[in-house]
Amino acid sequence: MSAGERSRVASTGPGEAERVELTVGPVAHGGHCVARLDGQVVFVRHALPGERVIAQITEVRRDFLRADAVTVLDASPDRVVPPCPWAGPDRCGGCDLQHVAPAAQRRWKTEVVREQLRRLAGLTPEQVAELDVRVEELSGGPLGWRSRVRYAVDAAGRAGLLKHRSHEVVPIDWCRIARPAIQELPVLTPSGRLWPDADLVEVVASSGGDVTVHGRRTTGVLGGGDLGEAAVPPSGGPTDGGAGRRNGAVDPTHGAGGPTDADGGPTDAAAPDGAGERVREVAVGRTWRLPPEAFWQVHPAAAETLAAAVLDLLAPRDGESAWDLYGGAGLFAAALADRVGPTGRITLVESAEPAVGAARDNLADLPQIEVVRASVGPALRRRRIVGPVDLVVLDPPRAGAGAEVVRAVAAATTRAVAYVACDPAAFARDARTFREAGWRLAALRGYDLFPMTQHVELVALLLPAES
């Protein structure tokens, strides 16, 4: 390729770049690989390490470029044909890795975790190797697993998913990684369903057999989310978008009703007066009844897998005390309660109102659990919860717990911390803060809770260095 063909124009904007030939290097956090063009870093999506590709520059920054591989000249043996026709450059931005064989996806994520530990946690290559980190497959396969989907709605009222780093809605026919009960709903454009009064459609197919659909109006379509979907504003519950249910699906000609079970009949999850809609989730030997907007893991096997990992790593003892920070609806608190017994004490801290209400309702039979509605940082800083405490579970949002929370936990005279993380970079930064406070990363497990995407879930055990 000539020098003229390889030149870049500084004014080139996203989607208007020229094409260049690249030899693709290692994977990096964010669902892309790293290449270099005349010494400048290029983050390339839809590629694999070792490939030679023609890439289209999608964004020009002073320090780096972004690009999509649009033609593969020399393919990796790990490359496959994406199972979804909407996956690829300038299409749906939800699934970053559909071009990668499932086993290679897990190797990709494993290497991302290891690289973050070296770069951000400050671990040596020998320390990373000693952890023997690997990302494990969950049951169910790489497709048809996602139990919660948020669709964005375009100006024509069509529901779909967003392009990568864009507000543009792609009106897909159906989402291949969504649960079959979601795929069958007449929500998307092929069904003829439009959403003129909504800019976001939230769909849930719970492990208890309930299906709900809500259209809602927000302040605007926002980028983000695991599936390229619109992000949810921090306040306000979903509103009725005019979709009812019939035989487990949505009847677009009727108003909204309560959740349905697998046979189409009403469940006892809905309140008799129609208020307080609930969906059922089944985990750790309990049936949970939650508002559809309350957080719950989107992979059907995730709740059991993560709870089992936390218990295995912490090894709770009868009569111990524990904090469940960012505790949500109380999954980990319930799992811990069974181990610490009636003489134990668990404090769950959560700030989101739907989750707090769900925790109080679903854990009412466990008197050893106290639910505190508060943000974790202020709760620790203002001593709404105080140590010493035996065990801590940290399950923060994607941004991580942060230095303030980590330092407070490290100072709480606890014997062990289980850290559940959905972002390896944020986790690595917090792990470094733990290490600076005199703690060590004793164990780390990875789980492929989000096949076909770049995302990975981690469960870590952190111990005082002297233990």
Catalytic positions, please? 422
Distance between CA atoms of 117 and 129, rounded to whole angstroms?
10
How are beta strands 200-205 and 211-216 bridged, if at all? antiparallel
- Residue 461 DSSP SS3: strand
- Are the beta carbons of 175 and 169 closer than 8 angstroms? no
Cα–Cα distance measured from residue 191 to residue 187, given in angstroms and rounded to the nearest whole number: 7
Tell me the backbone φ, ψ of residue 419, rounded to 5 degrees. -110, 120
Return d(Cα 87, Cα 435) in angstroms, integer: 40
421: its two tokens: 């993380």
Neighbours of 16 (CB within 10 A): 13
CA neighbor of 102 nearest in space, from 79, 84, 86, 85: 79
Torsion region of 454: left, alpha or beta (phi above 0 gives left; psi -120 to 50 gives alpha) = alpha
Q: Calculate the CA dihedral of residues 26, 29, 33, 35 and round it to 10 degrees.
A: -80
Pairing of strands 169-170, 135-136: unpaired
Helix (H) or strand (E) run with residue 152 in it: strand 148-153
**Are β-strands 321-325 and 286-290 bridged in parallel, bridged antiparallel, or unpaired?**
unpaired
